[in-house]
């Protein structure tokens, strides 16, 4: 059974925007970073660096989502439908 995160509001709004951020403390306004996985609470970093000299200059990437519709006078059917991720 899935449990809701404490960071989510009472009403679960659809995701309307998705960004990738390099610093989870500097997300754009109204975006919430996904910092840990749901199943085992491990770090949700998308850019797993190897060990070695990269420890001091470790690059991280986190997904951040926005669940707020900016214009409430417009249609409320703004939600993210398709996400395509490619790895090379």
Q: Give this prediction's pTM.
A: 0.59
Q: How sure is the predictor about 88, in pLDDT bands with cuts at 50, 70 and 90?
A: very low
Q: How sure is the predictor about 11, in pLDDT bands with cuts at 50, 70 and 90?
A: low
Reported as a single tens digit per residue, the pLDDT across 30-87 is 888 888 888 888 888 887 765 555 556 667 888 888 887 665 566 556 565 666 655 5
- Domains along the sequence of the chain with CATH: 1-88 (2.100.10.50)
Q: Give the pair of three-digit tokens for residue 10.
A: 């009472």
């Amino acid at each position: 059974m899935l449990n809701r995160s404490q960071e989510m509001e009472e009403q679960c709004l659809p995701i309307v925007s998705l960004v990738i951020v390099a610093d989870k403390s500097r997300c754009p306004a109204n975006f919430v970073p996904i910092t840990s996985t749901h199943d085992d609470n491990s770090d949700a970093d998308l850019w797993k660096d190897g060990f070695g000299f990269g420890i001091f200059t470790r690059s991280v990437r986190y997904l951040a989502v926005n669940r707020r519709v900016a214009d409430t006078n417009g249609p409320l059917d703004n939600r993210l439908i398709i996400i395509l991720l490619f790895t090379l």
